[in-house]
Every structure is written in structure tokens, then in C-alpha cells.
Amino acid sequence: MNLTLRLAHLYPEHMNVYGDRGNVIALRQRCQRRGIALEIVPVNPGDTIDWQTVDLAFFGGGQDSGQALITGDLIERQGPGLRAAIEADLVVLAICGGYQLLGHYFLTHTGERLPGLGVLDVHTIAGKQRMIGNIVIEVHLGAEPWQLVGFENHSGRTFHGPGVKSLGRVLVGYGDNGQDRKGGVIYRNTFGCYLHGALLPKNPQLTDHLIELALRRRYGSQYVLPPLPAERELAAQRAMVQRLLTR
């Protein structure tokens, strides 16, 4: 059986900081090693895309200025189709600025209120202190809990509403707002968080989880992703978690 997935990379020229493009590379590589064809479609301002044909979407982080440039296009051009696809369980990974723009709004340092897509029940308010450093989040996405590792660098403080559940509990670092130890959110098959670095190369478990969700959505809920070795990635992940938890 020839397996094919289609990934939409939202605004790659405007929303690509701190190595976020590496997430797309990790998805492509772990698909390729299993013989799964991954078509990557960049979505830039002014582009038209049929969201019903998309299996995965990635929305990276960007500066406030970059977010301001693409907000109108996101809401007016892509909004209806993307929102409907998310409600139909499109698999989405959104990091930092992309995560913020899927929420209700982002209130910037200058007091400008940038509207978001409103598909995630979160809102973001810029703070005076930047929250920078390595981060570890304990997540429960399988039979056993495990730790995501990444690097956060944000001044926005994101607060969760009742319409989302937390991706995980922050063990090291600030998390979404530096107050409640919540790190990221999950809504249907959409995952949003502040973990840069890039996230997926450091966390092959999450990479495979996203791929499997996308394949099940396209080919049926009984699909099981074949295992793939990741000894080096997991050894690096364990070493980082141990160092951060014991420092």
C-alpha cells in the first residue's frame, strides 16, 4: 500500500524563528524512512489552498511584526477552510506565534490587539519579562507519561479557557504564562505550545504521534504506525531531561 500525506506549511517566510523549520524536516524524514510520501505545500499570503486535501499543518513562530503581516490573510483567506479542517480533526502543530494566532487574540506590548483565528480557547497578553530557557513538559499521549524537551523564548503569556486541555505539566521552565505550570494545549488533533529548538527532532515520540494521527485520519482509525529506531534522539532527550531535572 502506497501511503501519502500532504502537509501545509503556513507562512514559512514570515513565521520561522529558532529553528522551527526543523519540525517540517523531522516529519519528512521520519515519513521517508517508513516509505511514506510527504508532500509539503508552503502557504504564503495570497495563496489559495483546499484544506480538505491537507493531512498535516505546521505553523511556526515569528516576531510580532511578522505576525502582524500575516494576521489578515490568516483570518480572511485561510480562516474559514482552516477552521473547518481543524474541526474535522486536521493534525496541526503550532509553535509560539503560530500558537498565539490560533487563539482568540494577542495583545502586544504597544497595546495593539491582533485578532486570532479563534479556534483555540486561549488568549495571549504580552508581558514585560521574556521567558527564556530550556523547558521540560510531562505529557500523557500514550500508555506511559514521557517528557518533551525544548527551548522557550517568549514574552507573551498565554492563558487557557475551558475549551482546551493542557498538553502537559511544566517540570522545568516557564510554560505558557509562568504562573500555572501549564505547557501547551490540545484541541482535537491540534497541538500548540512554546517549545522551539526545534521541537520534533528532539522528541521523536511526538513526531510519530502526529504522523500516526494523520495516517489514521486519512486511511482509517485502525492504522498502526510501524516502529522506527530513534536511539540517538532518545538518548539525547534522556540526557537533557536528566540534566535539567537534577541541576
pLDDT tens for the 247 residues of the chain, in order: 789 999 999 999 888 877 789 999 999 999 999 999 999 999 999 999 999 999 999 999 877 666 777 989 999 999 999 999 999 999 999 999 999 999 999 998 888 888 999 999 999 999 999 999 999 999 999 888 999 999 999 999 999 999 999 999 999 999 999 999 999 999 999 999 999 989 999 999 999 999 999 999 999 988 999 999 999 999 999 999 999 999 8
| 96 given a catalytic annotation | yes
Helix (H, G, I), strand (E, B) or coil at 231: helix
| Distances in whole angstroms, Cα of residue 2 to Cα of each of 40, 55, 133 | 17, 15, 42
Give the per-residue pLDDT at 15: 87
Give the per-residue pLDDT at 55: 98
Give the per-residue pLDDT at 208: 97
CATH number belonging to domain 4-246: 3.40.50.880
Find the catalytic residue in 9, 31, 96, 104: 96
| 193 given a catalytic annotation | no
Give the per-residue pLDDT at 64: 63
pTM score: 0.96
Q: Where are the domains of the chain?
A: 4-246
Instruction: Give the DSSP H or E segment for 246.
Output: helix 231-246
> Identity (one letter) of the amino acid at 97?
G
**130 labelled ligand-binding:** yes
Give the per-residue pLDDT at 109: 85
**CA-wise closest residue to 125 among 167, 64, 190, 72:** 64
Give the per-residue pLDDT at 66: 64
Instruction: Give the DSSP H or E segment for 83.
Output: helix 79-87
Give the per-residue pLDDT at 68: 72
Distance CA 166, CA 56 (A): 21
Burial 82-118 (b: 16+ CB within 10 A, else e): bbebbeeebbbbbbbbbbbbbbbbbebeeeeebebbb
